[in-house]
Chain A
Amino acid sequence: MSQTIVIDPVTRLEGHGKITIQLNNQGEVEDAHFHVTQVRGFEKFAQGRPFYEMPSLMARICGICPVSHLIASAKACEAIMSVDIPYTAAQLRRMLNLAQMVQSHALSFFYLASPDLLLGMESDPATRHIFGVVGAKPELGRAGIALRRFGQHIIELLGSKRIHPGWVVPGGVTEPLSADKRDETLGMIPEAYANVHLALSEYKKIADNFKTEIDVFANFPTYFMGLINEDESIAFTDGALRLIDAKGNIVDDGITASRFTQVIGEAVESYSYTKFAYYKPLGYPEGCYRVGPLARLNIAKSMGTPLADKELAEFRQLADGPLQGSFHYHHARLIEILYGIERIEQILSDPLILDKHVRATAGVNRLEGAGQAEAPRGTLMHNYKVDSDGKITWANLVIATGQNNKAMDLGVLQAAKHYIKDGRFSEGILNRIEAVVRTFDPCLSCSTHAFGQMPLDISLLSCDGQIIDRVIR
C-alpha cells in the first residue's frame, strides 16, 4: 500500500512550510516535496502607494532580513530617481547590510542548525534546541547569542530600532553616524572575532561526523548565482551578479538589477506558494540555480579581507571546483560572519564615515527601477514601475528562497531516498530530511510576499496515510 509521510510544520525555519514524502508499494520513496504554505500579498498592496514609501513598507515582509529589503528597495527607488547616493551613505548601508548578515547567520547557525550539528541528528527532540546547545556547550552557545546581539546592536545603533529601522530611505539614510556610535561599535569588534573563531574551530572539529549528510543533503550539480565586485571579490550591497555552472565556468556575468528580469524567470508549481526562479536562456527546470552563502563563496575569487580569505582558501580545499553539497552552507555562513566583522571594522575606520552628507534628493526621473542586494540567504531583487507622480503601478520581488526552491525540493527527495528504506523511518530520519531544508536557511515569509492566482493543492489523508480527497485550484 502506498503511503504519504507529511512533516508539518517543518521546524526551526523562518516561516511555515511542510514536506510530503510519497512512498510506493515497496515502501520506497517515490517522490518528495517541500511546500511553502503561507500566502502574503506585498506586490499587491504596494500598488497606489508613493514609491518613496517602499523601503519601509517592503521591509515589513520580514523580521529577520528587513535590512536587505530596505536596501534592495531603496536602490530600486534610486533607479527611479536616477541618483547616486553620497559616498558615506553607501558605506553606512554596506555596514548595516553586513550587520544584518552577521545576526541572521548567527541565528541560522547557532539557533536553528547547531542543535543538529552539536547534539546530533538523532538526539532527544525535547532538548534539541538552542537551550540544549547552551547546556551542552555553554561557550559556544554564548558565542552564538553574542554574535547575534553584535549584529542586532549595530542595526539598532544605526537605525535606532532593531527590527524595522526607518533609517534607509531612497537617496541614502536619514541620519549620519555619530562618533559615539562608531566608537561603541568598534569596541564590540574584538569579542565578535573571538566568538566567530571559536565557532569556526568547533565546526571544523565536528564536520567529519557528517560525511553522509554532506553526501546526500542536496548534493548535486547546479548553477550558482551571487553578487561580486568589479575585482571579483564577494559583494553584498554593490556590484553585479555572476552565474556560474557546476564546474565553475562563467555562464553569465555583469547582471545588473535592470537586466535581472531579462535573464531570470519565475516558474510556478502546484504544490508551493513560493515561485521557482530559473535562468531563462537555459529554461525551467534546467536553469535552476542556488544562491546564498555557498553560492557566493563558490563564485567570488576572494573575500577581500585577510582573515576571511584564509578561511576561504581552506574551504576551497574541500572540493575540486565549486562545492556542491548544501551541508557546506553552514561552513560558508561562518566564513561570511568573519568577513562581515572584518568589513565592518574597515568601514568604521574610514575617515569619511562621520560625514554629514548622507542623502541625495530627487523626484521621479524614470518610470521603472530595479535594485538588488545580497540578503543573508541569497540574492534579492526589487523591481517597481511608477506613474508620473511616483505612485507604484506594478511591483515584483524575486527572493532568495525562490531561487533556492528547486534545489531544496530536489534535496528533500535525495535525502528521503537515501534514508527511507522499506517504508521504515524514525524521528531522527525525518529530522535529517528537515535539516536539508535548514541548510539553505530559507525565509518562507519573504518567499511568499506575493499574492494572486497561486495554485492550491490540498490533499486529505486518512489516518493510514491514504489520500481520500484532493482539491486542486
Chain B
Amino acid sequence: MSENVEVKTLTIDGHEVSARRGQTILEVARENNISIPTLCHLDGLTDVGACRLCLVEIAGVSKLLPSCVTTVYEGMEVHTDSERLQKHRRTILELLFTERNHICSVCVANGHCELQSLAQSQGLTHVRLPYRNPDLSVDASHERFTLDHNRCILCTRCVRVCAEIEGAHVWDVMGRGINSLIISDLHENWGASSCTRCGKCVQVCPTGALFDKSKVGSEHPKYPDFLPYLNLMRESQ
C-alpha cells in the first residue's frame, strides 16, 4: 500500500473494518465476507446503482443508500441486514417479477438465474402485487443469440459490458420508466445491428433475457466471472 493511500475505519453490521479511501461500501463488505445482495452490480463494470437491491442503512443518514455506489468515510456505521432492508429488498424483487413475464418453469435460465436465486435467498414466497403481463416481443433475428424482453430487468449490464469492455456499444436503453427497453443500435433488429457476436452481453445477463440459441432446454449457465480477469489482463499490458 503506497504512502498516500488513506485508510478509513468503519463498522459494518457491528464488525470493525478498514478500507481505502474511495472504496464503496459493497467492496469493503465483500472483502470482509459480509454479503450484500446485488443485481445490477457486476465485478468489472462501472456501477450505476440501478436495481437498489444493495441498499444499506447508515447511522445518521435518513435515506437508504445503494452500497455499490456509496463510498466509505471515517467512522461510518453501516447496517446491511435490518428487517427494514429485508422488506425493501423483497418489495423490489416483487416489483421486478410483476413488471414483465418471468415464468421460471419454461425459462432457459431456470436454475441459473440471479433473479430467481435472489428471490429464494431473500425469502420471497409470494408476489402480492398484480402482474402487469405486458405484451413484449422476442428478438430472434441474431444468428446465435436471442433477446427476450419478457425476461429483462433493465439492469443494463449488457449495455455496460458492450460499451466498456467490448467497445462496440451496440446496446442502449430506449424510452423512460416502465416503458424502457433495451435496444441494439438505433432500434435495429439485433441480427442487422453492428453486433460483433462476442457474446459478452449473454454471459453477463443475470436472467434468461439474453441467451444462446444452442442452449435451450433450461440448461443455460452463464459465466460472468471472465470480466475481472479480462480487466486484469488488459491492465497488466
Residues of A within 8 A of B (CB): 48-50, 52-53, 55-57, 60, 164, 166-170, 174, 361, 363, 389-391
Shortest Cβ gap from A63 to chain B (Å): 11
Q: Are B216 and A164 in contact (CB under 8 A)?
A: no
Q: Are A167 and B217 in contact (CB under 8 A)?
A: yes
Interface residue range, chain B: 10 to 19
Q: Are A169 and B217 in contact (CB under 8 A)?
A: yes
Excluding A389-B140, A389-B141, A391-B138, 7 further A-B contacts by CB distance (< 8 Å) are A48-B138, A50-B140, A52-B213, A164-B105, A169-B217, A174-B217, A390-B140
Shortest Cβ gap from A334 to chain B (Å): 33
B140 surroundings in chain A (CB, below 8 A): 50, 389-391
Q: Say yes or no for B233: interface residue by CB 8 A criterion.
A: no
Q: Are A48 and B105 in contact (CB under 8 A)?
A: no
**B137, B139, B216: which contacts A52 (Cβ < 8 A)?**
B216
Q: Are A53 and B108 in contact (CB under 8 A)?
A: yes
The B111-141 residues at the A interface (CB cut-off 8 A) are 137-141
Shortest Cβ gap from B96 to chain A (Å): 21
Residues of B within 8 A of A (CB): 105-106, 108, 137-141, 143, 146, 191, 213-214, 216-219
Q: Would you give 7 A-B contacts (Cβ < 8 Å), ordered by A?
A: A52-B213, A52-B216, A53-B106, A56-B218, A166-B216, A169-B217, A389-B140
Q: Are A49 and B138 in contact (CB under 8 A)?
A: yes
Q: Are A56 and B216 in contact (CB under 8 A)?
A: yes
Q: Are A57 and B106 in contact (CB under 8 A)?
A: yes
Shortest Cβ gap from A399 to chain B (Å): 19
Q: Are B106 and A168 in contact (CB under 8 A)?
A: no
Q: In the complex, which residue of chain B has the Cβ closest to the Cβ of A74? A: B217
Q: In the complex, which residue of chain A has the Cβ closest to the Cβ of B142? A: A389
Cα of A363 to Cα of B142 in the assembled complex, Å = 11
Cα of A35 to Cα of B108 in the assembled complex, Å = 36
Given contacts A53-B108, A57-B106, A363-B143, contact A174 B138 (CB under 8 A): no
B216 surroundings in chain A (CB, below 8 A): 52-53, 55-56, 166, 169-170
4 A-B pairs closest in CB distance: A166-B217, A166-B218, A389-B140, A169-B217
Q: In the complex, which residue of chain B has the Cβ closest to the Cβ of A388? A: B141
B218 surroundings in chain A (CB, below 8 A): 56, 166
Q: Are B105 and A60 in contact (CB under 8 A)?
A: yes
B137 surroundings in chain A (CB, below 8 A): 48
B213 surroundings in chain A (CB, below 8 A): 50, 52
A361 surroundings in chain B (CB, below 8 A): 214
Q: In the complex, which residue of chain A has the Cβ closest to the Cβ of B101? A: A45
A56 surroundings in chain B (CB, below 8 A): 106, 216-218
Shortest Cβ gap from A164 to chain B (Å): 7
Given contacts A48-B137, A389-B141, contact A60 B217 (CB under 8 A): no
